[in-house]
Amino acid sequence: PFGGDEAEHRECLRLIRERYPAAIVNEPKEAGFGEAVRHLWSTITSPYAVHLEDDWVAHEDITPEKIFPLFEGRTRQVTFLNKHKRRKGSALFDCKRTRSLLSPMKTYDPKKPLFTTSPGFIDSSFARISAELLDPKLDPEKQFYNGFNAELEHFASIYRNRFLIGEKNENIISDIGRDWREVRGLTKQTIDGVSTWENQEG
């Protein structure tokens, strides 16, 4: 329950049912980002799943031929590149950037892979194990690398998140939800691993 009233809730549900009659819809009484992701990832039954949100726009077709060859080696997630993901130069994988004692420049650390809830495909086994280890009270993305969930961080550390790069423009999708958020004065705050969205206009 976020971003609309009960009438909009019903209309959203109607649109889902119209397009996907067999959809399983989770309607919790209390909003919870971590719990929502834990629920979704724990219910995947196919070998792979696409994690989507309703406020993203694709700029070109995203086909199986583009996605599945990238799931090789230790890759367990393929994320659609967008301007809000940090990609330096020709980097193919999403990793935390750190500054070493030898250089003032930040470099990608492959020992600290980043996994995301932004749109992309995810390996079902990886998703289900991650769901078991996720703390539903915390921001799910931050738990993979910020020290708040050592067990999940250790599990994910040997795997990789590969970028899907666009053919026309490297940012293959755009987030239109940020504009919606700014119009309403909403900002995301993350304190001690817990993310909340607050209205700065009171």
Report the percentage of the chain scoring pLDDT > 70: 89
pTM summary value: 0.86
pLDDT tens per residue across span 142-190 = 999 888 999 999 999 999 999 999 998 999 999 888 888 888 888 888 8
**37-46, 83-92, 190-199, range with the lowest pLDDT:** 83-92
Rounded distance between C-alpha atoms, residue 184 and residue 202, angstroms? 11
What is the pLDDT at residue 112? 82
- Cα separation, 29 vs 32, whole angstroms: 9
Instruction: Give the separation between CA 114 and CA 176, rounded to whole angstroms.
Output: 22
Q: pLDDT (tens digit, 9 = 90+) per residue, 93-117?
A: 998 876 666 666 666 676 789 999 9
What is the Cα–Cα distance from 9 to 161, expressed in whole angstroms? 33
Q: For the chain, report the end-to-end CA distance as a whole number of angstroms.
A: 19
Instruction: State yes or no: pLDDT of 90 exceeds 80.
Output: no
Q: Count the helix, strand and coil residues of the chain and give each as a percent rounded to the nearest 5.
A: 30, 25, 45
pLDDT the model gives residue 202? 47
Name the residue among 33, 53, 17, 13 with its Cα closest to residue 196: 33
For range 135-142, the mean pLDDT: 93
Over pLDDT 90: what percentage of the chain? 58
